[in-house]
Structure 1
């Protein structure tokens, strides 16, 4: 079941990222984040109302979860920014390399991943380097969005690894709701720092963001269920396959075209993710 939950996470995250990309390029990162987090708080809150009680834990446990959620907020902000300025088929595979960070942390914490996982980690690093140094088909540098994608990968890697520490205490749903709430508060604070802000939501954009919010929430819940069933490294690696879904959608609907070197780099990244997940 852990493998199925990991794959479901990948599908949900891949579809969600594609939807978010369409929104951020029209209304910007913060407006998209605001709508998605409001939707997430309400959706996951409804799940909590149906499923159960508040776990009795110390304030320190809840504070730890809030700190972990803050790290995810940074990752999401960087990811959405990379979607706005970079090619989706480039930045998504790079962001998906958070499996490397999780694998390194798990190794340091005592998990002993198999040789294929280590080989996959090496391929992920090589693929990211190749993609980062490649040029787009027109000959222009392809660095737009890549630094943000790398930052997102690091933030997500630490976040998903840390969830393993709190889910046994808080259950599978509460960490997702706290994550959504912290991200909503963070987005509101960032918006308050802007001197001028005007909502530019249309019904089409709102529908797109609602779909993205539902998919993201299902993805987070599925991930937490997955790490309950199997190793964090396995679930994270499977979840990071979401970039394959995103790249395919970008190729089909956005007509994004890659240079030969870029295509090789992305293939190496995806091969690395696949090996890590075996």
Structure 2
């Protein structure tokens, strides 16, 4: 399976995850929801490790990188939740969707050859995702000041790029299963410390558990797919393809929630998939 395919699987999982957020975000404490999703994703991941009879933790030489990946993963999650909670989507989404540029820059820094056409395909994907997401924002009310929203969005973008780069680097040396476990455990520990320090709710409520469980499994699959690409050629394209999750969230809302997609949004989908198609050649 190619890195691009693994990234698309991750995008589908995170797109499904974000559609589910709509069912819980209005009635469930945000940080409690995120904690539950991370914990359930980790339980799922431990199940996969049991089936694969994987070593529990990676070798010491990559433990630090795996830990740092967890810090970036939590930063990405908090930035994503914080940015979309504030909005508007037309400001937030293009900034977050830009993280593939950071992934490509990291790959180039490490000696991977990136052609002008490949870079152009990445830009097409970002433009397509941003176009679809921006046109989905029909809010016309007051929004919070943009400065903090932009900061959250940048935090999410850098967080995703860092998570994927470090996770793939460690996975290539020690296997994706133990590396991803450390990443998830670090994110959970830091989030729990923050929740307890700020005296925020820990329990999301029984009614939200079924949806949060599905979100946790989807999140568990997605992160595992990205780190699994660390062994493959052009591993950076898993991160690029995963950025399609914002577009797929809106497409899933069209399918399952009967939300409208305009002609221009469909054009944005075609643009993004054209970029994916070129990278798959």
TM over 0.5: yes
Residues 37-52 of structure 1 mapped to structure 2, 5 A cutoff: 37-52=38-53
Does residue 219 of structure 1 match 2:222?
Answer: yes
The structural deviation recorded for 1:134 is 9.3
Q: Mean alpha-carbon deviation: is it higher for 148-157 or for 266-275?
A: 266-275
Partner Cα distance (1:149, 1:275) in 2: 27
Partner Cα distance (2:202, 2:227) in 1: 36
For residues 167 and 53 of structure 1, do their structure 2 counterparts lie closer, same or farther at Cα, with a shift above 3 Å needed?
same
Partner Cα distance (1:208, 1:245) in 2: 18
The structural deviation recorded for 1:169 is 2.3
Residues 101-112 of structure 1 mapped to structure 2, 5 A cutoff: 101-112=102-113
Counterpart for residue 240 of structure 1: 243
Partner Cα distance (2:188, 2:236) in 1: 28
Partner Cα distance (1:33, 1:138) in 2: 25
Give TM-score, length-normalised by structure 1. 0.81
Q: Is the 8 A contact 1:10 1:240 kept in 2?
A: yes
For residues 4 and 56 of structure 1, do their structure 2 counterparts lie closer, same or farther at Cα, with a shift above 3 Å needed?
closer
Q: Is the 8 A contact 1:122 1:272 kept in 2?
A: no
Q: Is the 8 A contact 2:66 2:180 kept in 1?
A: no
Partner Cα distance (1:214, 1:132) in 2: 24
For residues 174 and 21 of structure 1, do their structure 2 counterparts lie closer, same or farther at Cα, with a shift above 3 Å needed?
farther
Partner Cα distance (2:19, 2:194) in 1: 24
Partner Cα distance (2:274, 2:96) in 1: 13
The structural deviation recorded for 1:128 is 9.1
The structural deviation recorded for 1:56 is 7.9
Contiguous gaps of at least 5 residues in structure 1: none
Q: Is the 8 A contact 1:82 1:146 kept in 2?
A: yes
Q: Deviations over 1:117-171 (max 9, x none)?
A: 2224445677799899999656557759554233211111122112221002221
Partner Cα distance (1:224, 1:58) in 2: 16
For residues 276 and 33 of structure 1, do their structure 2 counterparts lie closer, same or farther at Cα, with a shift above 3 Å needed?
farther
Q: Deviations over 1:49-94 (max 9, x none)?
A: 2212427865342122111111111111111222333356874554
Residues 1-278 of structure 1 mapped to structure 2, 5 A cutoff: 1-2=1-2, 3-54=4-55, 58-86=59-87, 91-92=92-93, 94-123=95-124, 137=138, 145-195=149-199, 197=201, 199-203=203-207, 205-251=208-254, 253=257, 255=259, 270=272, 274=276, 277-278=279-280
RMSD of aligned C-alpha atoms? Answer: 3.6
Partner Cα distance (2:43, 2:88) in 1: 31
Contiguous gaps of at least 5 residues in structure 2: none
Aligned residues: 275
Partner Cα distance (1:165, 1:196) in 2: 34
Q: Secondary structure at the residue paired with 2:25?
A: helix
Partner Cα distance (1:133, 1:44) in 2: 34
Q: Secondary structure at the residue paired with 1:17?
A: helix
Give TM-score, length-normalised by structure 2. 0.80
